[in-house]
Amino acid sequence: MQSLTPLLLVITGLAVAGYFIAKSRAMKVAGGDIRTLVSLPRQHALNTVLSTSVPALAAILLISLYLRLTGGQGSWFFGFVVIGLAVTGFATSLIGIKQDRRARTLAERWILGLLIFASTIAIMTTVGIVFSMLFETYNFFGQYDWRNFFFSTTWSPNFRGNSDLGILPLLWGTLYISFIALAFAVPIGLFAAIYLSEYAGPRMRSVAKPAIEVLAGIPTIVYGLFALFIVGPALRDYFAEPMGLGQSASSVMTAGLVMGIMLIPFVSSLSDDIINAVPQSMRDGSLGLGATKSETIRQVVIPAALPGVIGAVLLAASRAIGETMIVVLGAGAAARLSLNPFEAMTTVTVKIVSQLTGDTDFASPETLVAFALGLTLFVITLGLNVFALFIVRRYREQYE
């Protein structure tokens, strides 16, 4: 790290010097009359700055990556390569300054390269996610039988070894909580969207729509706190204990309800867009035949919007499955397979957090299992997202 600073300083120095030298050289070549130049002096200057710095910086990036991968040490040789590149770019661009040199085109080629590089960062992120998790998951399955991971119904990690790391109870908790959240959020979100787009006047819309969207802007930790201290104890005192269903404040119900509140704006704003995309002529036709407004909505608008609404629900489901803070604080940590919604259960995300926080030993299956859980989560949510986006896109095209 320390060895990088002088290199960067040299490159910056060369680039700054190049800027001024190129400018004055261009003026000299022009003989004082810049109208004889094809490109302006500052474009020559910009070209020099970019040809000095961009290749050298790219080399630094590649060399650091190479050294990390091979575990090698930085050496003078690499320093010379970097400085050499910078000096070459500096010299060739300065020597090349002539009256008819198209410096603007040259400089813009460098800029375009930078833009392309920036746009590949999104791809690199995905590649990074997939590879980092694949690599550690591979290590995990080297130590732990994959059949036990996918088909065992017990989860009891034990840091002295001999753990049972079955994903099924975690998946069950995840799906159960997501199901409750969706059962709460989908009807409410959908009805809210229908009301806002079909019935509400502009006044009502201007109040209710932003208010519902505020729910979407609240960080999940706030919902988690709300579940842990307010909803959980309330559900326990007023429902679970009187009905004899359990004494736990953190439960599937707590996490599911709070997550449902979080998902309302998600479902409602997506459905709102979709309902608005249904052409007015279809409504007019139905109303013209004498149907009431609600009949029109139920029998014309909703069936027409159904694929889009399903897409929205799937996106909400992927949100619910990947949600972490609400379940960490509201659902509990006990992995069990049970139908009682007032019992504490746990999810994939909770276990990722608990296996990866605190003292972690990256050689033990108890830590590595988190990567396998992460990969499973990633695959499930990615599948849902791709499928949902595909449906939504198909649907949009239908009415365009």
Chain residues 111-170 in contact with other proteins, contact rule CB under 8 A: 111-112, 114-116, 118-123, 125-126, 128-129, 132-133, 135-136
Instruction: Answer for the pair 172, 340: CB distance below 8 angstroms, yes or no.
Output: no
CB of 277 to other proteins, least distance (A): 17
252 is a contact residue toward other proteins (CB under 8 A): no
Nearer to other proteins, 21 or 180 (CB): 180
DSSP per residue, 162-229 = --EE-SHHHHHHHHHHHHHHHHHHHHHHHHHHHIIIII--HHHHHHHHHHHHHHHHS-HHHHHHHIII
Nearer to other proteins, 62 or 111 (CB): 111
Q: Residue from 68, 142, 201, 243 that binds other proteins (CB under 8 A)?
A: 68
Nearer to other proteins, 217 or 288 (CB): 217
Instruction: Answer for the pair 328, 173: CB distance below 8 angstroms, yes or no.
Output: no
Q: Residue from 18, 232, 341, 374 that binds other proteins (CB under 8 A)?
A: 374
48 is a contact residue toward other proteins (CB under 8 A): no
Residue 50 CA to residue 16 CA, distance in Å, equals 10
Of the candidate spans 146-154, 167-175, 295-303, 305-313, the one that interacts with other proteins by CB under 8 A turns out to be 295-303
Nearer to other proteins, 147 or 237 (CB): 237
- Count of residues that interact with other proteins, criterion CB under 8 A: 89
Residue 30 CA to residue 16 CA, distance in Å, equals 22
Binding to other proteins (CB under 8 A): which residues in 308-367? 315, 318-319, 321-325, 328-329, 349, 352-353, 356-357, 362
Helix, strand or coil, per DSSP, at residue 16:
helix
Phi/psi region, residue 218 (left: phi>0; alpha: psi -120 to 50; beta: rest), is beta
Instruction: Answer for the pair 351, 155: CB distance below 8 angstroms, yes or no.
Output: yes
264 is a contact residue toward other proteins (CB under 8 A): yes
Q: Residue from 183, 211, 289, 306 that binds other proteins (CB under 8 A)?
A: 211
Supply the DSSP symbol for 155: E
Question: Count H helices, E strands: the chain?
Answer: 16, 2
Supply the DSSP symbol for 156: E
396 is a contact residue toward other proteins (CB under 8 A): no
Q: Residue from 206, 386, 398, 399 that binds other proteins (CB under 8 A)?
A: 386
